[in-house]
Structure 1
């Protein structure tokens, strides 16, 4: 339901030095209650807007870096495709050599060129999957920013109207009501406390959200690594290039998941410095940020290589670290939420007390303090951005067929 439109500015009060503060309050009582209610309904917007803007800047920066990497990967894929096609066109010569006795060196070269092309294409597809994930996250964040911007603009306009109204009514000390001056100061202190605590909650909630997604992606990486371990035994049954490709495809998916995990963890640490640190996962001698995929997942006996076993162990350790940090951050976020709610209640109480003090002189007319709306719900913990499904082996084969290979 869209928020009600901001009220029109109250009519100016006559600049009569003989008009008592009581008379001024009576003149603008209705406009004042309307402003208080709508300001309270929008107080969360500026803090949420700042948090989302930072998140958007980070996403756009990561996407720009990724696009550069994809451009490089596409050039590599194009080069490997050409070399592979050149070998494919030499099939007649290969069979001629086979009849005459084809050397193992020539066979090895053909298989190596084929694997290099498939690896390059698999790397490109994994990077493009991450690109789509970032683009979807950016699009959703921009939609949230549009709504938050509207609320923030309305909040600022309402605050300006409220400031003008208070200036007209209570400009300078109110000697008739010294208690009103004291509560004005109390409200200002409560506003500062609420701003700080709400900002902390927004940051902690956002950090928790990122850890939640990182934990799911780390679990996916574990699944892909375990699939690669299971598939490494197929070589002993003559799986050949297909089995090798499936192993490499699983490791490429694991790398893509870990790359996204690294982005999310860096964002979470930026929001809450108490998170981490985390161990760096190395795949086949290359860090997860490198361009090379895992090489040599199985040995000649069909058992998993030490590199692959070590990679699985590292990913499992990282998964447990993220789960532990998620639990710790969840406690921080809920404590920050409790503090923010307490600050909001204190601010509401201070405003109510200020209103009571201001209206005591005409209580029979106003009938008590202005009613305030319920605090707006924060949905950041329950509505994570869902990333797209990563490319599968079937999608890779489909791409090869589309390329005529």
Structure 2
């Protein structure tokens, strides 16, 4: 069995060296691409700001040209100044407008040149980013091929190379821990999104309860049938929003056992017969009190929903921190495993001339 593993290693050693050399050539690409993308984003923001400045100075230049043109071409204005003995003042004003126009012209030229330069920088930065993206793609492809090669050679127990088996076990455990945490984080992300929608529904329910109270106050002072209808409609809307929020909570609970039920909400819808046959200020006041009690019930549930959202956000924050740690552990374990496997290749290749590799 040991000889079989050595034979696999020997057969794959040439390809291993090729892959490692290619990885070394493109190792710089991943961090460089991240930096280049930040540069592109900065330049895009600068181009946007520069475009706005160019548009502003263009408007200014047109305004100054219009003022300059009025003094340059207005025979009537020139004659009026001359007739009143203010020719010198006219000349000064005309010169001032001309100076301001040329200053605006220079400012526009300057901003236009800056704009061209920034856009050229952006174009060049995007080209560099595109080149780096190709290098990253190549790097990832080579890494995938190397992983597949190592999988064929070292997958499972590797007799004669216990250090490789141990590091493979560690790497697998770290990967499983990362994947488990990743799953929890993704679930909590969905939980937070769902509960956020539920929070919005509870806010709407509270709004409907306030609307119902407003109509109820009017009803106590002779609002009439239309006010009763608006009151009932608001209460019905609040009840629908609460039901929707509870359904969203149930949906979130299927993704996370940490999500709790909302407090029971009771929204009194009143009695239509009472409104028709016994509608008076006393029944209106009594129902107003019931609506206030219902609002308090909705408010308690809304506060509980806010707490659920805050708790989910905190859980996600903690999981994201744990996920970063798990990812770092996994990456380090994989890198160490790759180094161990490289060492095995080197030791075998140093003692056995490598035959041609058959993919």
Query: Aligned to 2:183, which of 186, 199, 202?
Result: 199
- 1:335 aligned residue: 318
Kindly indicate whether the alpha-carbon contact (under 8 Å) linking 2:177 and 2:326 is maintained by their aligned counterparts in 1. Answer: yes
Shift of 1:226: 0.8
Query: Aligned to 1:314, which of 291, 297, 301?
Result: 297
- 1:347 aligned residue: 330
Query: Aligned to 2:7, which of 5, 16, 19?
Result: 19
- 2:288 aligned residue: 305
Structure 1 residues 237-284: Cα deviation after superposition (integer angstroms, max 9, x where no partner):
543222122112211221221121011111122222222232121122
Query: Aligned to 2:174, which of 176, 185, 190?
Result: 190
Change (3 A) 1:212 1:338: same
Shift of 1:321: 0.9
Kindly indicate whether the alpha-carbon contact (under 8 Å) linking 1:197 and 1:336 is maintained by their aligned counterparts in 2. Answer: yes
| 5+ long unaligned stretches in structure 2 | 31-141, 347-359
- 1:105 aligned residue: none
Kindly indicate whether the alpha-carbon contact (under 8 Å) linking 2:235 and 2:269 is maintained by their aligned counterparts in 1. Answer: no
Higher helix share: 2
- 2:149 aligned residue: 165
Kindly indicate whether the alpha-carbon contact (under 8 Å) linking 2:209 and 2:234 is maintained by their aligned counterparts in 1. Answer: yes
Kindly indicate whether the alpha-carbon contact (under 8 Å) linking 1:22 and 1:361 is maintained by their aligned counterparts in 2. Answer: no
TM-align CA RMSD: 3.8
Kindly indicate whether the alpha-carbon contact (under 8 Å) linking 1:173 and 1:181 is maintained by their aligned counterparts in 2. Answer: yes
The count of corresponding residues between Structure 1 and Structure 2 is 221
The reply to whether residue 218 of structure 1 matches residue 187 of structure 2 is no
Matches within 5 A, 1:2-151: 19=7, 21=9, 23-28=11-16
Q: TM-score, normalised by structure 1?
A: 0.47
Query: Aligned to 2:259, which of 250, 256, 275?
Result: 275
Q: TM-score, normalised by structure 2?
A: 0.53
Q: Aligned with 2:7: secondary structure?
A: coil
CA distance in 2, matches of 1:170, 1:359: 11
Change (3 A) 1:230 1:162: farther
Q: Which segment is superposed worse, 344-353 or 300-309?
A: 300-309
Kindly indicate whether the alpha-carbon contact (under 8 Å) linking 1:25 and 1:169 is maintained by their aligned counterparts in 2. Answer: no
The reply to whether residue 257 of structure 1 matches residue 245 of structure 2 is no
Kindly indicate whether the alpha-carbon contact (under 8 Å) linking 2:192 and 2:313 is maintained by their aligned counterparts in 1. Answer: yes
Shift of 1:22: 5.1
Shift of 1:353: 1.0
Structure number, greater radius of gyration? 2
CA distance in 1, matches of 2:221, 2:316: 52
Q: Which segment is superposed worse, 162-171 or 320-329?
A: 162-171
Structure 1 residues 139-161: Cα deviation after superposition (integer angstroms, max 9, x where no partner):
xxxxxxxxxxxxxxxxxxx9998
